[in-house]
């Protein structure tokens, strides 16, 4: 799959309403299927890297470092489009998901347990 950088303007990046930690929540959706793959976070460096490299780069809150999704797993996410919401405090990216899927559990989407579904709750 190919990287497609997005030529965002400086004004667009400057408009993002980062939270108190300097982060913004990001929804990642699979092109074609429309499946919501995951929700993660970006700081400004991660957003700039994502737009410039054409692949999803998040900020890992647990590791406190840039997280180039798929560098370890191979499950990279190739950006096809990105958008910001009316409050500019949430982002939506549409991607082609490479490899096995977005989730570290092996599921395609991180949202694989429905409420009322009888799964064992808790972090997996």
Query: How many whole angstroms separate alpha carbon 97 and alpha carbon 121?
Result: 26
Applying CB under 8 A, which part among 12-20, 52-60, 66-74 lies near a copy of itself? 12-20
CA angle 7, 70, 49 (to 5 degrees): 25
Q: Look at the block and give the residue holding tokens 């096995």.
A: 100
In which element (H, E) is residue 30 found? strand 24-30
The reply to whether 33 sits near a copy of itself by the rule CB under 8 A is: yes
The reply to whether 52 sits near a copy of itself by the rule CB under 8 A is: no
Cβ 76 to a copy of itself shortest distance, Å? 18
* Residues numbered 71-90 forming contacts with a copy of itself, rule: CB under 8 A: 81-88, 90
Interface pick for a copy of itself out of 39, 45, 65, 71 (rule CB under 8 A) = 39
Cβ distance 44 to 116 under 8 Å? no
Closest CA to 87 of 15, 13, 7, 14: 15
* Interface residue list for a copy of itself (CB under 8 A): 6-9, 11-12, 14-15, 17, 25, 27, 29, 33-36, 38-39, 51, 81-88, 90, 92, 103-105, 107, 110-124
């Amino acid at each position: 799959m190919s990287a497609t950088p997005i030529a965002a303007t400086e004004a667009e990046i400057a408009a993002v309403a980062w939270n108190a930690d300097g982060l913004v929540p990001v929804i990642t959706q699979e092109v074609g299927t429309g499946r919501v793959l995951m929700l993660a976070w970006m700081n400004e460096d991660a957003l700039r890297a994502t737009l410039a490299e054409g692949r999803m780069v998040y900020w890992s809150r647990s590791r406190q470092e840039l997280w180039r999704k798929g560098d370890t797993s191979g499950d990279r996410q190739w950006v096809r489009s990105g958008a910001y919401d009316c409050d500019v405090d949430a982002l939506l990216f549409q991607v082609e998901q490479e490899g096995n899927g977005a989730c570290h559990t092996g599921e395609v989407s991180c949202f694989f347990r429905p409420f009322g579904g009888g799964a064992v709750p808790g972090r997996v």
